[in-house]
Structure 1
Amino acid sequence: MNGFSASRVLAILVKEFKQLTRDRLTYAMVLVLPVVQLMLFGYAINTEPRHLATAVLVQEDSRFARSVGAALKNSAFFDVVAQARSPAELDAMIRRGEVQFAVTIPGDFTRRVARGDKAQILVEADATDPAATGGAVAALAALPAQALAHDLKGALSPLGQGQPPFDVVVHARYNPEAVTAFNIVPGLLGVILSMTLVMMTALSVTRETERGTMESLLATPLEPIEVMVGKLTPYVMVGLVQTTIILLLARFLFGVPMAGGWIGLTLAISLFIIGSLALGFLISTLARSQLQAMQMSVFYILPSILLSGFMFPFRGMPAWAQAIGQLIPVTHFLRVVRGSLLKGQGLGDQWRELLALLAFVCVVTALAMARYRRTLD
């Protein structure tokens, strides 16, 4: 038996480096994935979001009311993006998720402040994601002392001393006890379906290519859409079973409220399952091995977890990260799931997200059909 040879080890090293450069996907993953992770964790992830979308309903046109509105705009936590004309319009904005906060300044605000009669303003927070509102709600404690500091002068100066000139009543809607499970558990539905369906489909089809059985399938007169439907239908059933199990556990194990919106939720689940399976099929047409299929699946799943609003507040991310997140189907699916279970949203509140999921299904299916090959060459 020959002893240790440095030249033979060097030969193996050269061979492995050449193999690595030939496998372009693996080579790209080695170089790109650390950069992507660094950019996401370094710039996109923010656990204390600021400049949150806020709508204001001003029921009186007064100097004090304008000062409160200006104080909100000057805050680092609130961006006033809309002026509601009625309580119903304000309620619709926060229910649809268009704003994170809804502020109501009542019609007797100035009179109560001038009399020292326990004036109040109402701040309603969309608390479906407690992490997104926690810092902003804490910042509201300083609002009464700062908002009217320049107005309470002269004869009104005693009102600015001692007790605050008004109180901020915070109403945390949809998750008043700030239970983290109410946000995380519904979100897990999208993450689990993505991880299992995309990866299972991609590996299943690629496995047939590696074993040679795909060559026999390609020799048949089957059309691409027929192959796709036949191979993906069993996994649709798998996705439906997973969905049922997750929703039952969410209700009976974690106490997640089931507020309604079942029509929109059913449509979203159906579209998301079909789209995830079609994406897995598309990945299988691009990958030459199961390892490549798994790598490509991970490259899709990682942004889906980090940029969809599942783990970190979506509105806390910079604009460029939110733009990328809008392209990820999990983002829209999570909005429908949380909106249905926690808010009881109807189709009128969810149609934008459902259209985004439908577009995802159409685009991915078309690409998968275009990539499907009649031969293994």
Structure 2
Amino acid sequence: MSAPRRRSSFSWLRIWAVLVKEFTQLRRDKLTYAMLLAVPLVQLLLFGYAINNDPKNLPTAVLVQENSAMSRSVLSAIARTGYFRIEHQARTPAELDRLVRDGEVQFAITIPGDFGRRVVRGDGAQVLIEADAADPSATGSALAALAQLPQEALKRELTGALARSPGSAPPFELVVHRRFNPENITAYNIVPGLLGVILSLTLVMMTALGVTREHERGTMESLLATPAQPIEVMIGKLAPYVAVGAVQAMVILGLGRLLFGVPMAGGWAGLALGLLLFIIGSLALGFLISTVARTQLQAMQMSFFYMLPSILLSGFMFPFRGMPEWAQAIGTVIPVTHFLRVVRGALLKGQTLAEMAPSILALAVFVCTVTALALARYRTTLD
């Protein structure tokens, strides 16, 4: 019977050897090393430069039915607040309504034809401001900045005989309509957004990890030995997850309605088409990640790297128009951005399929591009 092995004394040399071995292994795993550096860098840039909870220079459309010095002074005072950027001069109320419904502008301002006459007479002059309140955080500060506008905007015009006595009522009233979410309920904005984030997180990661797991276990070798074409393998593997995504969507929408009272304004055809494209695109992206990642850890890291800008730059957590132009350009490439517009447009605005066409087209382009890349990278033989 051999004598028990003596436990050696503590050695800094052995610690150093293990340390060198771990750094050597990390250096060989270039993808993991790159992710360790990239994720903090992306977080720093996004939180430091792109995120803004007080958006300014928001696109605004105006319908001026009285071209007078008073109406121009009111518009000038609104622009000076810094929150409104007048981009469109609508000619009819229908055009103004379309600009708001399509999401081209955040605000619509109407100055009626009898505005100046009512101001002079003190006869209850009004200016109508309509806000796209589907995202309450994007409009709250801007509307709050207008609180003193009726008192200040016409001081230069109302002099002499038209001057107002101290303590008198303002020369006109701002009538604010918060459209699509008049109660400013945050859940109406967050719950539809969660649909896109949850589907992205689950579908992309499930697909990426599932296919990568088969490579690690060697089961992919049997599949690659069959005469199945890459497109056939891709369809066969992703089809079950389409059903999973559809069930997730129905559960989220049902609970959103039941628990939070999220409105269901309509737009079901566009929502169904957008949902199908988004699910397919997310699964194809997961498949593409699996062709790049060599391990499940790498697949998970790459999935999270995709999710970070999807949450921060899509308009889910922070106002999309509050970000700088370069961040908005990145956000426009992210499919979650367009899917959120489809979901919110359907549930809150009741948009038709034609009104959702730009976002639907963007999702279709994403599906085609990612699918083509995934098929191009798919290996029909093992390395």
TM-score, scaled to structure 2: 0.97
1:92 is matched with 98
2:354 is matched with 348
Q: Is the 8 A contact 2:78 2:146 kept in 1?
A: no
Select 2:212's aligned residue among 206, 213, 218.
206
1:316 is matched with 322
- Measure, in 1, the Cα distance between the counterparts of 2:303 and 2:166: 59
For residues 31-77 of structure 1, the C-alpha deviation after alignment (integer angstroms, 9 at most, x for no partner) is: 11111101111111111111111100001111111111112222211
Shift in Å, 1:142: 1.6
- Of 67-76 and 296-305, more deviation after overlay is shown by 67-76
Shift in Å, 1:160: 8.1
Question: Is residue 167 of structure 1 aligned with residue 173 of structure 2?
Answer: yes
Q: Is the 8 A contact 2:50 2:324 kept in 1?
A: yes
- Gapped runs of 5+ residues in structure 1? none
Q: Is the 8 A contact 1:116 1:159 kept in 2?
A: no
1:73 is matched with 79
- Measure, in 1, the Cα distance between the counterparts of 2:349 and 2:380: 48
Question: Is residue 154 of structure 1 aligned with residue 160 of structure 2?
Answer: yes
Shift in Å, 1:146: 2.2
Report SS of the residue matched to 2:47. Answer: helix
Structure 1 segment 232-251 matched on structure 2, within 5 A:
232-251=238-257
Report SS of the residue matched to 2:279. Answer: helix
Report SS of the residue matched to 2:356. Answer: helix
1:282 is matched with 288
Q: Which amino acid aligns with 2:244?
A: V
Q: Which amino acid aligns with 1:76?
A: G
Q: Is the 8 A contact 2:212 2:295 kept in 1?
A: yes
Question: Is residue 292 of structure 1 aligned with residue 281 of structure 2?
Answer: no
- Gapped runs of 5+ residues in structure 2? 1-6
2:4 is matched with none
Give the aligned CA root-mean-square deviation in angstroms: 1.0
Report SS of the residue matched to 1:252. Answer: helix
Select 2:272's aligned residue among 235, 254, 266.
266
Identical positions, percent: 70
1:327 is matched with 333
TM-score, scaled to structure 1: 0.98
Task: Kindly tell me the number of residue pairs found equivalent between the two proteins.
Answer: 377
Select 2:124's aligned residue among 110, 118, 124.
118
For residues 323-352 of structure 1, the C-alpha deviation after alignment (integer angstroms, 9 at most, x for no partner) is: 000000000000000010000000121100
1:229 is matched with 235
Shift in Å, 1:154: 2.2
- Measure, in 1, the Cα distance between the counterparts of 2:250 and 2:335: 20
- Measure, in 2, the Cα distance between the counterparts of 1:161 and 1:120: 19
Question: Is residue 256 of structure 1 aligned with residue 262 of structure 2?
Answer: yes
Q: Which amino acid aligns with 1:258?
A: M
Question: Is residue 103 of structure 1 aligned with residue 98 of structure 2?
Answer: no
- Measure, in 2, the Cα distance between the counterparts of 1:231 and 1:347: 30
- Measure, in 1, the Cα distance between the counterparts of 2:37 and 2:253: 39
